[in-house]
Structure 1
Amino acid sequence: MLAIYEKKTTSLDLYRPLRNYISMFYSEREAQNLEDDLQTVKQYRSDLERQPDPSPTSRRDLLQKYFKALCLIETRFPISPDNDHINSVTFVWNDAFKQKQKASQQNIHLEKAATLFNLGAVYSQIGLSFDRATVEGRRQAIHAFIAAAGAFAYLRDNAAAKASVGTSTTVDVSVECVGMLERLMLAQAQECVFENTISKGSTPGVSAKISRQVGLYYEEALAALNVAPLKDHFDKGWTAHVQLKAALFYAEACYWYSLELHEKEDIAEEIARLKSGASTLAEAKKSSKGAAAQLLDAISKLEANINRNLDRAVKENDRVYLMRVPSPSFLPPLPAFSMVKTMPMNELLDASKEKMFASIVPDSSAKALSRYTEMVDNIIRTQAEKLQQGSELTRVRLKEMDLPDSILSLEGNLSLPTDLKEDVEAVQISQGPAGLEAELQQLMDLRRVNQELLVQTEELLQKEATEDSQFRSQFGTQWTRPQSSTLTKNLQDRLNRFAANLKQAVDSDARIEHSVRDHSALMSILDCQPIESALPSLARPIMSLDANEDAIVGALKQSLRQLETLGAQRAGLEDMLKEMKWKDDVLPKLMTSAGSYEDLFRKEIAKYDPICEDIAQNIEGQEQLLLQIQVT
């Protein structure tokens, strides 16, 4: 199998430029407070420059830590040729496959891409370090290879395009190259699965599907190696190795599939499959120069097995079956089944929980946080209004149907609802209807006094205006005082507003007086104590509906209990919303996000979707219950 060597870099001091930037744009005190973080970054970069590391696992851990540190640096420290940016830092990296080629960029994208590339390379080296003669060794190798595929895929999706912008780039971190390396790592992981399959003695059908998928992964890698920009970039031994592996595992699939066909006595397709495998191996051996002896030995052994079974199948067909052998080109594709997939690296490389440089919050992140908080507040406000409206709707609709008061009365409970009883007691404490009459009389007296004050004030202002006009006519230009209309404008405006308010109050008083007169007979019962003695009782013949009365009342009670349950749920949902907002600390993710804030906002806001759906279901359930209660 193939391991990838790390990219090499030149020495670089990140400590001094970063510290100078903090001191200049924040403060010297801030730079002193962040000294430990700056020293950590310096140590990471220094350790990265030393190759090779005697421990692949410690090298892997270093690369992961350094990548997270780069994510934090990217959002806080602008590195570019601009005058007000950190313009004294130039990252230089050699191509991993053509080391004489190098790239240099004054931005962090090349540094991040190279770090991810080296992480994938180290994982591939770890995969090769295990003893694949044992089950445990193969299991660990599979994990390492799919992790390597994950690192290359993460590089392709998150950093390769940015690192390739500009004139100074290398092919090894291009989208095409890291995509090819991902398929190669998956091929080697699937190959380990195939070795496990053979070791366990799985059925020929299973072995055929597993081996065919190995071949497909190698074929995908080979296709990328044969076109620009990878063509002629890799050593010929690499291309020969991948080509031989693709042929080997296609032939393996033919061999194992033919065994399954032999069991089914499908001799014609068995011969065709074996011929296809044999011809593929024969063709591949023509370009096997420089291939590993172990690989050539595996091809020779498989070729011998295929030819032996082919001879046997041909003889059996000539003597017994006499079936026409189809051309391999007319055969359907061999079945394949993948047992591996690229390991997701998002969580492993997530820097949002890192505390490095936490005290530095750029203005863009602060603004993004403010916008996100506004979006969350809008959700909370909208959903809280829905919950409040739902509770208010229930109260009003039940009141329109005299529920639950009518059921309580039917059961002999003649007490008033608590809210109404408190209102009645408040009126009785204020001397009932007599007290209200006294209040109305006092209101009329106050209205009359206000009207008099209004008239007096208007007269005073008019008198002052008349005197001013007389003096102005008498003394002419000698009368230098400003005009009365100018001096009294604010007073006149306030007087007009007062007059309008007083007119509105008079109209309101009239409506209240009219209402009191119209309901004088009803209001007379407010003098009765206790108030229940003056109320008509709701007894059985009044409520007799039909023979099913008890069932109807029972159904109403059940529905009302369900409404109470929904009401309690609404209170709990509102508390859950507030708790979610309290725990929603999105600033670390904003600080480490190198992509669009909009994408991050959509992902984070989606957390509130389930509880919003619960609220919608609660409101809908309440509406259905209210309709059911209305029918009952």
Structure 2
Amino acid sequence: MFRVPFINVPLKSTEEVDWATPLRNYIRSTYDDPERYVDGYVTISQLRQDTRGAGKDQTGRDMLYRYYAQLELLDLRFPIDEAHIQITFTWYDAFTQTPTSQYSLAFEKASIIFNLGAILSHIATQADTSTSEGAKTAYRTFQGSAGIFHFINDSFLHAPSTDLSKEMTSMLSLVMLAQAQEVFLEKTVADGKKSGMLAKLASQAASLYMEALSSEGIKSSMIPKHWLSLAKQKYTSSLAYYYQALSLETAESHGEAISHLLQSEAFIKEAIKHCSTGYGLLISSSSNPLLSAAKDHLTLLTEKKKTVIKDNDFIYHDAIPLSSSLPAIARLPAARALSLHEIYPKEEISKIVGRDIFEKIVPYTIHQSASLYSEEKAKLFRSETENCEVADLELKSSLEYLKLPQALKIYDKDTVDEENNDFETIRIWAGEIGSGENLQDLFDRISSLRDTVSEKLNKATEVLDQESRECEFMRTKFQHQWTQQPSSIKTQHLRNDILSYKQNLVTALQSDSKLSALYDQHKPIIQQLLSPTLDWDIRAQVSKSRSSDQSNNLLDLEPDYSSTLDKNIEILKSHLSHLQNLKSTRSKALKDLKAALHKDDITSILLMNSRSSHSESDIFKRELQKFHSWQERIKIANQHQSEIIKAVTATYKEILKDPISIRIRKTVSDDEGTWKTALEQYRDSRRVWGEVITGLKNAIKFYEEIDRACGSLLQRISHFVSERRREGGEILEKIENDLPMINQERLREHLGRMNFGS
């Protein structure tokens, strides 16, 4: 295949723009001191100035992309249009040189990205496609240029100039895509691929050129090198029929091969005709590479045609079908329009674009979304905190139920027997408990108060949510006419109070649970202290202590219990150590999660997605996935803990069944029946009873105080909602009164925009 020239797109030119003054005025009226952003005005102005002199190379491409990306970021913060920030952008049509001026930032972005596509076309045409690297550059860059013009076609409606029109950008995209197909065809020919594939590739290129040339609403004079596009369409059509002929000849279809060669010859002659008159005059092949390539191809296919016809006349005698009866050659697309994000590798984008020039300016709506996201993070942390606390409680309860690791101490052979007959001390403790308040009544009182407070808080939340829905319904219905401020602005302090009380309630519930668990643990001994048979029980303990077989102690047992018992004890200790490690792992994961949540800031992400189709909840869900690793660590630790607790239970059961373990426990059980053990149990239970009584009284006092506070809060909320509804009623009345006047004003504006001239 002979190398042919490529088509590039001319660039648009523009006038200078004053960025600083309009942006200063807007920032002063909307945000804060405009002098804080002087560097931003200078930078955006310099970026635009750089694009005016950008070269048709990689550096120029990067300049345009950086400015375009900064415009996208700027567009998220500043409403630059005729109705708000008025900045005049003047651009000259790339083909007619007609100036167009608009206040629209979309026009500025479309013009910049048009030039980006044009520069890519120049980079591609300058590449040396005879080399592997050059062919790769041209192939990818033509696809990038096609993608940009396609992007303009899809994204920017109502183009104010010819070069940005849907017809023109569609045509340019097709031409760039056709040239990318050509580059691939050229490389495939050089690689010696089969003729059938080459025919399909050439057919696709010809089809793209034909589609581009058939664009409606585009004058041929506006198409860059229109004659060259025509010539290349004929040239690639000729190649398609030529390679199809070679494929048919290989398949022994000599008559069809001749017909395809004749059709190829007709197309290449048309290509030569367009090349020869491309500039309005005959030009030599030395100054027109396509003309030279076309003539060389004509020579090649003429020789091939003679050979095939001769062979058919003397050997095969196949009928030669008419060209009009030939089926269309199948097409094989090898190029596609690349999206804007595919032009640059991801790792290069941030380096080229640089930091967000006005990153410190954050719209109020983004602040609100960030606040909601913080609430979602708080929910996540509360959930994981609860998971950790439940797991810790499960571990503690399981070990306490099994009395581990304390129960293993009996196998250390160090139990000592003592007696103590201090009856009077125990009677005093029993008298204190008997004269005190009933613990169950106190627990019931706490439960009732807690339920009352919870109901009030739920009612408060429901009232605020209902008022918020009413307000937003009216805002949706009347849009900007509904001037009442959003409820979230007014109710933040109320909701903070509700949240604070709920958090206090959760903390109190945890304390109540601990008190209940503590009481349940010591309840049997406390009830024994209240028993009328207390004296008899104490005497029985002393009698048991005195009748114990003092010779049956740990020192009388074998020095080594048994290999099985020793092994199980070591396994159990290993399990217990593992459980403590899991608890530490879980605690550290929760601590790390808290730090990561505190550090996380998605303000820039919310800003970037403020005009996308992604919902706020989708963004939150995606961003919260960042914390999945910490959640997974906690989850795995909890799962492993449950498995090991089962193993601990099973191993401990084996220990308890061991014959030597039974002997040890019998001896220790006798020792634990001594008076010292009994006295310690009574003393400990009396202490716990005092702690529980104090804790319950404090809890009741707390719940009574928070109940009063919640009642006051509910009254404030009711008053607030009443005032909001009264205010809303006044606004609604004003809207209904102003409606006729507004309709008349809209009619006058409409008539004022109409042109009644001839």
Which whole-Å CA distance do the structure 2 matches of 1:2 and 1:439 have between them? 104
SS in 1 for 2:17: coil
Q: Is 1:606 equivalent to 2:622 in the alignment? A: yes
Q: Is 1:366 equivalent to 2:356 in the alignment? A: no
State the one-letter code of the partner of 2:176: M
Pairwise CA distance, 1:415: 6.5
**CA distance change for structure 1 residues 234 and 574 in 2, over 3 Å: closer, same or farther?**
farther
**CA distance change for structure 1 residues 86 and 125 in 2, over 3 Å: closer, same or farther?**
same
**CA distance change for structure 1 residues 437 and 122 in 2, over 3 Å: closer, same or farther?**
farther
Which whole-Å CA distance do the structure 2 matches of 1:435 and 1:247 have between them? 116
Pairwise CA distance, 1:295: 2.5
Number of equivalent positions = 525
Q: Deviations over 1:209-255 (max 9, x none)?
A: 467446535634642552444x3375366454334323433432443
Q: Is 1:216 equivalent to 2:175 in the alignment? A: no
Pairwise CA distance, 1:115: 0.9
Corresponding residue number in structure 2 for 1:486: none
Q: Deviations over 1:567-610 (max 9, x none)?
A: 88866765675565455443234445562273587367435448
Corresponding residue number in structure 1 for 2:93: 95
Q: Structure 1: where are the runs of 5+ without partners?
A: 417-427, 452-503, 538-548
State the one-letter code of the partner of 1:98: T
**CA distance change for structure 1 residues 359 and 282 in 2, over 3 Å: closer, same or farther?**
same
Q: Deviations over 1:61-115 (max 9, x none)?
A: 3322322332333233322333xx323x222223222322x44322211111111
The one of 33, 37, 49 equivalent to 1:34 is: 37
| Structure 1 range deviating more: 90-99 or 375-384 | 375-384
Pairwise CA distance, 1:148: 2.7
State the one-letter code of the partner of 1:121: A
**CA distance change for structure 1 residues 66 and 556 in 2, over 3 Å: closer, same or farther?**
same
Q: Is 1:187 equivalent to 2:186 in the alignment? A: no
Pairwise CA distance, 1:22: 3.0
How do residues 111-126 of structure 1 correspond to structure 2 at under 5 angstroms?
Answer: 111-126=108-123
Corresponding residue number in structure 2 for 1:517: 527
| Structure 1 range deviating more: 339-348 or 374-383 | 339-348
Which whole-Å CA distance do the structure 2 matches of 1:573 and 1:361 have between them? 33
The one of 291, 297, 301 equivalent to 1:296 is: 291
Which whole-Å CA distance do the structure 1 matches of 2:588 and 2:277 have between them? 71
State the one-letter code of the partner of 2:34: A
How do residues 616-627 of structure 1 correspond to structure 2 at under 5 angstroms?
Answer: none
* Aligned residues of 1:267 and 1:317 also touching (Cα < 8 A): yes
State the one-letter code of the partner of 2:88: T
The one of 207, 227, 242 equivalent to 2:229 is: 242
**CA distance change for structure 1 residues 559 and 246 in 2, over 3 Å: closer, same or farther?**
farther
Which whole-Å CA distance do the structure 2 matches of 1:389 and 1:441 have between them? 37
| Structure 1 range deviating more: 380-389 or 300-309 | 380-389
Corresponding residue number in structure 2 for 1:86: 85
Which whole-Å CA distance do the structure 2 matches of 1:95 and 1:436 have between them? 104
Which whole-Å CA distance do the structure 2 matches of 1:285 and 1:345 have between them? 35
The one of 101, 105, 108 equivalent to 1:104 is: 101
How do residues 263-342 of structure 1 correspond to structure 2 at under 5 angstroms?
Answer: 263=250, 265=252, 267=254, 270-271=257-258, 273-275=260-262, 277-281=264-268, 290-291=277-278, 293-321=288-316, 329-330=326-327, 333-338=330-335, 341=338
**CA distance change for structure 1 residues 37 and 624 in 2, over 3 Å: closer, same or farther?**
closer
Q: Is 1:442 equivalent to 2:432 in the alignment? A: yes
Corresponding residue number in structure 1 for 2:25: 20
Which whole-Å CA distance do the structure 1 matches of 2:252 and 2:381 have between them? 69
* Aligned residues of 1:186 and 1:342 also touching (Cα < 8 A): no
Q: Structure 2: where are the runs of 5+ without partners?
A: 1-5, 280-287, 413-417, 442-511, 555-564, 651-758
Pairwise CA distance, 1:4: 1.0
Pairwise CA distance, 1:117: 0.9
Corresponding residue number in structure 2 for 1:354: 355
* Aligned residues of 1:383 and 1:612 also touching (Cα < 8 A): no
Pairwise CA distance, 1:13: 1.6
State the one-letter code of the partner of 1:364: T
Query: What is the RMSD of the two structures over their aligned residues, measured on CA atoms?
Result: 5.5
**CA distance change for structure 1 residues 444 and 572 in 2, over 3 Å: closer, same or farther?**
closer
Pairwise CA distance, 1:57: 4.2
Corresponding residue number in structure 2 for 1:68: 69
Which whole-Å CA distance do the structure 2 matches of 1:34 and 1:620 have between them? 49
Pairwise CA distance, 1:12: 2.4
Corresponding residue number in structure 2 for 1:148: 145
Corresponding residue number in structure 2 for 1:457: none
**CA distance change for structure 1 residues 437 and 306 in 2, over 3 Å: closer, same or farther?**
farther
SS in 2 for 1:34: helix
SS in 2 for 1:76: coil
How do residues 525-604 of structure 1 correspond to structure 2 at under 5 angstroms?
Answer: 574=590, 577-578=593-594, 581=597, 584-593=600-609, 595-596=611-612, 598=614, 602=618
State the one-letter code of the partner of 1:40: T
How do residues 152-191 of structure 1 correspond to structure 2 at under 5 angstroms?
Answer: 152-156=149-153, 160-161=155-156, 164-165=157-158, 169-191=160-182
**CA distance change for structure 1 residues 526 and 362 in 2, over 3 Å: closer, same or farther?**
farther
Which whole-Å CA distance do the structure 1 matches of 2:11 and 2:372 have between them? 42
* Aligned residues of 2:11 and 2:115 also touching (Cα < 8 A): yes
Which whole-Å CA distance do the structure 1 matches of 2:131 and 2:82 have between them? 53
How do residues 466-505 of structure 1 correspond to structure 2 at under 5 angstroms?
Answer: none
Which whole-Å CA distance do the structure 1 matches of 2:177 and 2:422 have between them? 88
Identity %: 23
TM-score by length of 1: 0.64
State the one-letter code of the partner of 1:445: S
Q: Deviations over 1:495-537 (max 9, x none)?
A: xxxxxxxxx9xxx9999878843798999999999xxx99x99
Which whole-Å CA distance do the structure 2 matches of 1:302 and 1:143 have between them? 27
* Aligned residues of 2:113 and 2:148 also touching (Cα < 8 A): yes
Q: Is 1:202 equivalent to 2:191 in the alignment? A: yes
* Aligned residues of 2:149 and 2:169 also touching (Cα < 8 A): yes
Which whole-Å CA distance do the structure 2 matches of 1:605 and 1:10 have between them? 45
SS in 2 for 1:98: coil
Pairwise CA distance, 1:354: 1.4
* Aligned residues of 1:212 and 1:252 also touching (Cα < 8 A): no
Which whole-Å CA distance do the structure 1 matches of 2:274 and 2:205 have between them? 20
State the one-letter code of the partner of 1:112: K
SS in 1 for 2:358: coil
* Aligned residues of 1:577 and 1:611 also touching (Cα < 8 A): yes
Which whole-Å CA distance do the structure 2 matches of 1:68 and 1:114 have between them? 13
Q: Deviations over 1:377-421 (max 9, x none)?
A: 44454456556656767887x77997998xx99xx88579xxxxx
Which whole-Å CA distance do the structure 1 matches of 2:616 and 2:160 have between them? 29
Q: Deviations over 1:410-457 (max 9, x none)?
A: xx88579xxxxxxxxxxx9xx999988755632443449xx9xxxxxx
SS in 1 for 2:176: helix
State the one-letter code of the partner of 2:96: K
**CA distance change for structure 1 residues 606 and 192 in 2, over 3 Å: closer, same or farther?**
same
TM-score by length of 2: 0.55
Corresponding residue number in structure 1 for 2:558: none
Which whole-Å CA distance do the structure 1 matches of 2:110 and 2:629 have between them? 41
Corresponding residue number in structure 2 for 1:464: none
Which whole-Å CA distance do the structure 1 matches of 2:319 and 2:431 have between them? 117
Which whole-Å CA distance do the structure 2 matches of 1:388 and 1:66 have between them? 52
Corresponding residue number in structure 2 for 1:500: none
State the one-letter code of the partner of 2:62: D
SS in 1 for 2:357: coil
